[in-house]
Chain A
């Protein structure tokens, strides 16, 4: 479809911009933190939503800006590329502890200028101490959070939750100036909280226009000083584009791309959060593209260069996390997820020229962001599926592939209307969302079902510390039969689910009180219609997502108990319990029996897979018994990002033969590494037994293939067939790593030589050499499916 012949891609300009982006050193930037602090000081008696609006407006008016004369698409939230930004109103305690060690921490370090340390310690921290979102959450629920922390990790405690696919379509149709006028007129005709909301929205949208105008002015000034004619011409174009966008909606493809980027920059300037996602870009940009092509002012070459430029931009904003969180979400999964392909309203194929150009941009840029997702379905054209295979074969782990045939029914099951479910896209890593009207709160918490099982075997006591963590439900040694064990496990799960939802309610309430987000709300339906901030439930859909972790270890462990202990009786109850408490010390034969004597999830052994399915289902039912703070349902996700490593550190030895504190199975639905021996079709068969339809929040399956799978047309076509079969199975998602273990070992030993090497870590792509050493080891260990044989 897209035929770009005869030219070398990417262009020199793109290569140069890419180089500059990748080689930029990351610094902590406190500029916006300073502005926010000043505004909150000056306006201390205003309602929070106005303080937030004034802070964002002041930031849009004052933050230092720059433009690289080569840039086709301008804009960033800091002068430095990939700077680490702090929003003090959300929480500062971690930075108070870690600011000095930011440069030396093992995962995702940042440089810190000495003057910033004193600015932070003298001016920022003292003002905010005790007043932040985090302070309130811990004040209200600190004890409850630590009481459940062995099993439940509550997220979003010290930052905005992000994770939204805004309504980019209407942003492009109206532009911020019209949206601002609308909000201001609504504020005139309303009262109370709604009036405040409209006032705040109008204020920040107007500031957004001024922000674009500042870029226009800067570009014009730079053009004046630019000796190179071509660069001057480009700067003048940037200036004109930014000016047009500050006064109205985009009228060309290039303006539309610039407009999309401004939207995401400003969202970051309001929230500083991960996983604001552009969604179905091929759908909302296609009209601009076709109009310009018809007018003769755009061809695929120019369009691709603009896509390339936008792709690079998505790598210039990173989300700085605290040291612990950086281990859970390693390598800056900023989570700008772009979705291509998929169905239209009536189930017809919706892929178009831009779907292919966006895939091509992935081939050109090959950086961690954006996170690229391809939607496949029954009627996906072979050409599209094969182009996905080709791009996957490049080995960047993208696009990840999702299955409309499995996901759309899951969304309907979760209560999404038909007019929205077909238009779903992915947010962040693999979180599911409709387009522009959905607050999924998709990372509310991670629920460690494996830890809950440990407690169920040990009367609620943690095997690592001996502390009582859950209710007293008896010891394995005392259970007369498997059913008593199941009973104990059910009690542990429902206990922690109840406690968890209580804490989640507090967290969401505090977000509403501290982080109302009028700019975000103006691009999430129906906040502007009903005058309600998105944090207060203004979106059409209001979910909260809880991740169930981890199907593989649950299925494998319970299968061992069912067969070896309660079935064959080959292993005694007390013997196994003792061995688990002792981390199988001096009992390697028993551990080997646990591993080898009972089949494992991922090998298409139905009875084992069904155990996993049963407990996933039970967990999902427990969630359904609760409602979130915004009145919406909880729903389950089956993904961990990279959290299976730190999550595993809290879990003692498990009956599946896993040693204490070692990683759990990765991804979400992946088998335990090294335990799937029958190849990728068996893995899919096992995975399809886990009820993904209950995973309205998304699920994740990692698969690794060797580069040889893609080295010639014949083999690649087999991979394409593999994808075509996927859409016949109830599996939501697969992401493919194409890399050899040998190569990764080399990369670990010689990071300098592999700086550009990217790898998928669960739901996203990161620079391999930037990952923590134990995470690197873990990735090297994972099964290599293509090697089956």
Chain B
């Protein structure tokens, strides 16, 4: 089998809120949507870049010396990255003693991911847990996702994907059939609003959802509660009704907004303006 490679930004073991039982969540990098509130901004870009964690930095300036592109400069105890100059050589990450300068993700083979996932197999057995592919967007790296799912399935590991379902139908169909559970993040029901806040209309999403619902596949709906955007009674009711319209008992879960997101924006050097995010009048 060809070594299918993909890009991830994290593997989290003992993940207890991404499906049934005790799980390992694999976060795939890259997402076709641009949700204004995204709480893992490091997962949006399919490209790996470098980021800086001020809390870890000891201001030793080794990274500055190591960078031949003069992309870095020190500013009040933390390092600023000039992304126009950075060519991602990784020189800074190699010399940083504190782990403060790091790549935002890594390239890894499906086999390697599988080997990580397999480590907690005993816990999956007792808890009914397994693997969850999440992101980013797992449907955005279809070959890679598929291979991980298949390796796990063969090893008897329960598989789930958490997805926005924004993909072409054949992709959604293929990957979904390889996973035992689909956790569908449905954000905004109104197609117009959806486009406003995520950059894309939700037509593909709803279409894929209805298709999957019909196949009888195990499905769970998740609505992220973004103040003033997704958490209105109107939106929640509309999504619930939509899930119900499939004529099956599809559970709907409401997910609190992650308060630590701001920290990740800082590390990426992307401006994070909760006012802008949360108040659509300012858009």
Contacts and interface: CB of A to CB of B under 8 A. Distances in A.
Contacts of A725: 22, 122-123, 125-127
A722 B119 contact: no
B123 A604 contact: no
A596 B98 contact: yes
Given A588-B58, A789-B12, A681 B97 contact: no
B14 A685 contact: no
A597 B62 CA distance: 15
A724 interface: yes
Interface string B179-197: 0000000000000000000
A217 interface: no
A718 B12 contact: no
B22 A718 contact: yes
- Which size class do A's interface residues fall under? 20 to 34
Interface in A78-112: none
A718 B98 contact: no
B119 A721 contact: no
Per CB-CB distance, the 7 closest pairs between chain A and chain B, nearest first, are: A721-B127, A679-B14, A592-B97, A596-B99, A593-B97, A724-B126, A592-B98
B119 A681 contact: yes
Interface in A675-702: 678-682, 685
B78 interface: no
B120 interface: yes
B275 to A, nearest CB: 27
B127 A597 contact: no
A729 interface: yes
B14 A680 contact: yes
Interface residues of B, number: 23
29 contacts: A588-B60, A589-B58, A589-B60, A592-B98, A596-B97, A596-B98, A596-B99, A604-B119, A678-B13, A679-B13, A679-B14, A680-B14, A681-B22, A682-B14, A717-B127, A718-B16, A718-B22, A718-B127, A721-B123, A721-B126, A721-B128, A721-B129, A722-B123, A722-B126, A725-B22, A725-B125, A728-B126, A788-B13, A789-B12
A729 B60 contact: no
Interface of B: 12-17, 21-22, 58, 60, 62, 97-99, 119-120, 122-123, 125-129
Nearest to A588: B58
Contacts of B15: 789
Contact of A679 (B12, B21, B99, B127): B12
Contacts of B123: 681, 721-722, 725
Highest count of chain A CB atoms <10 Å: which of B17, B125, B127:
B127
B119 A685 contact: yes
A715 interface: yes
B122 A729 contact: yes
A718 B128 CA distance: 9
A721 B126 CA distance: 5
Contacts of A717: 127
Contacts of B126: 721-722, 724-725, 728
A593 to B, nearest CB: 4
Interface string A522-563: 000000000000000000000000000000000000000000
A120 to B, nearest CB: 54
B97 A590 contact: yes
A392 to B, nearest CB: 16
Contact of B97 (A589, A721, A728, A729): A589
A725 B21 CA distance: 12
Interface string A706-724: 0001000001011001101
B16 A682 contact: no
Contact of B58 (A592, A604, A680, A715): A592
A789 B11 CA distance: 10
A354 B125 CA distance: 30
B122 A715 contact: no
Highest count of chain B CB atoms <10 Å: which of A592, A593, A728, A729:
A592
Interface string A745-789: 000000000000000000000000000000000000000010011
Interface in A457-489: none
A657 B14 CA distance: 27
Contacts of A682: 13-14, 119
